[in-house]
Amino acid sequence: MSVYRSALLRFADDGRALYDEDGLLAIGPDAQGRQRVLAAGSWQALGSQYADQPVTHLPGRILAPGFVDMHIHFPQTDVIGSPADGLLPWLENYTFPHEKRFAAPDYSAQVAQFFIAELLRNGVTTALAFSTSHPASVNALFTEAQRQNLRLITGKVLQDRHSPDGVRDDTEQSLIDTEALIQRWHGVDRLGYAITPRFAPTSTPAQLRGAGELAARYPDVWIQSHVAENLDEIRWARELFPRSRSYLGVYDDFGLMRERAVYAHCIHFDDDDRALMRDTGAVAAVSPTSNLFLGSGFFDYASADRVGFRYGLASDVGGGTSFSPFHTMMAAYYVGREGQTKPGLSLSPQQLWWQHTAGAARALGLAGVVGNLQPGCEADFLVLNPEATPLLARKTRQAQSLDELLFALIVLGDDRVVEQTVIAQQGANQRAT
């Protein structure tokens, strides 16, 4: 058992932040040997129960849940920051040429090692990630995640048309490979598989039909893809699938809308699309830095809440511009405030943080497992330094409320705030200094 005394951040089921300036976090093994939260709350209320235990005291620090990234592209680690006129030219000129390299197991393994180290350095302890169309990329990422004991979900990209040589796959073989990877990796340690059509225009109806059949055969695996990111993409999808009600409706027509289905972006929706998300249990991965970078549009938070479908935050590296959840939360605040093309609103600091931790975990079907520090959760947590930089220290010392403290961290924070990332069963991953 390990007992920590520090400021403590966690979340109630309704998304409210719970904060103890003098908090206690106790972790220990469950019956299977996995480290879980045993107790979390104020030192005054809980300290006497652990009087016989050694205590790690972390004054001036905040213990917080590890961040959950709902959509990120592992093979685009080196594509981040590439200039482009928009999504489709960016894919053609940068993404597809680079992803060809992941046919090589050694290259995939080298990038996987860097990618996961970068997640941990930024405090991301759970991620839903795209690999490439090459099984070697999936095996490399799962192998490294297993070595680091990271909770990670990924899958082989399905793209059997409108893709260049080197990333385009064969319809039948792609489905055979997908099922073999599910059987090899899904549910092993902290790993999960996601059936992964890149996006509807790069898959034939036969491939999408096969993906839907796999989704029905393996109902506990995830599904991930992209939808309604920009207007050119939507027009293309409608030309290719004229019988579907909408771009989102394409996925529904092929059996790819259900619980544990995660669709990135979901920007250009109508209320019928939003209702389809709600009624099927599919969720949105909101990717604000990517949407701003590529000029795709703005996620409509007000309409999503009005209709009632779930969502969480995502970096979307490498269209996204940072691995840092602080940068993602700040961009989400900008996107929420935009009120010229949609209703604008000010997302509270607590709501922004929720979207990248417990809310994202709930959207993934992992509520009570990750993204929080309530009893029973897996013990993935961060040691945050609210005085990591001179300006941040100056600002946080003046905070008069929890919202002021959290918002200062969102606006001024980056990887330097993450002093330590602790993964269940593994101990501490110290950030590079």
Q: For residues 141 and 77, is the Cβ–Cβ distance under 8 A?
A: no
Q: Quote the pTM value.
A: 0.96
Whether the pLDDT of residue 433 is over 50: the answer is no
pLDDT in tens, 343-389: 999 999 999 999 999 999 999 999 999 999 999 999 999 999 999 99
Nearest-angstrom CA–CA distance, 316 and 291: 9
Nearest-angstrom CA–CA distance, 348 and 381: 22
Nearest-angstrom CA–CA distance, 115 and 109: 10
Return phi, psi of residue 37, to 5°: -75, 125
Mean pLDDT for 66-73 is: 98
Please report the beta strands in 324-380, taking only residues with DSSP state E, as ranges in sequence order: none
Q: How confident is the model at residue 431 (pLDDT cuts 50, 70, 90)?
A: very low
Q: What is the mean pLDDT of the chain?
A: 95
Q: Which amino acid is it at 52? A: D
Both tokens of 191, joined, read 């790993």
Both tokens of 164, joined, read 């260049």
Query: What local confidence, expressed as pLDDT, does residue 426 receive?
Result: 58
Whether the pLDDT of residue 432 is over 50: the answer is no
What b/e readout covers 371-398, taking b as 16+ CB neighbours within 10 angstroms?
bbbbeebbbbbbbbbbebeeebbebbee
Please report the beta strands in 161-252, taking only residues with DSSP state E, as ranges in sequence order: 191-197, 222-227
Helix (DSSP H) and strand (DSSP E) numbers for the chain: 17, 16
- Bridge partner list, 65: 381
DSSP 431: P
- Least confident span in 56-65, 75-84, 86-95, 166-175: 86-95
Q: For residues 266 and 230, is the Cβ–Cβ distance under 8 A?
A: no
Nearest-angstrom CA–CA distance, 337 and 423: 34
Crossing angle, helix 171-185 and helix 205-217, to 10 degrees?
A: 20
Whether the pLDDT of residue 427 is over 80: the answer is no
- Bridge partner list, 26: 3, 39
Query: What local confidence, expressed as pLDDT, does residue 83 receive?
Result: 84
**In the block, which residue shows the tokens 């839903």?**
128
Q: Is the Cα dihedral 302, 403, 407, 428 positive or negative?
A: negative
**Residue 23 CB: number of other CB atoms within 10 A?**
26
Which region holds residue 41: left if phi is over 0, alpha if psi is between -120 and 50, else beta? left
**Interior CA angle at 372 toward 368 and 375, to 5°?**
60
The pLDDT > 70 percentage for the chain reads: 98
Nearest-angstrom CA–CA distance, 297 and 267: 6
Whether the pLDDT of residue 210 is over 70: the answer is yes
Whether the pLDDT of residue 272 is over 70: the answer is yes
Query: What local confidence, expressed as pLDDT, does residue 240 receive?
Result: 98
Q: How many residues does the chain have?
A: 433
Q: How confident is the model at residue 430 (pLDDT cuts 50, 70, 90)?
A: very low
Largest CA distance in the chain: 68
pLDDT in tens, 223-247: 999 999 999 999 999 999 999 999 9
Nearest-angstrom CA–CA distance, 321 and 389: 21
Strands 35-42 and 55-65: unpaired
What b/e readout covers 192-206, taking b as 16+ CB neighbours within 10 angstroms?
bbbbbbbbbbbbeee
Return phi, psi of residue 72, to 5°: -155, 145
- Least confident span in 79-88, 148-157, 210-219, 251-260: 79-88
Nearest-angstrom CA–CA distance, 216 and 200: 18
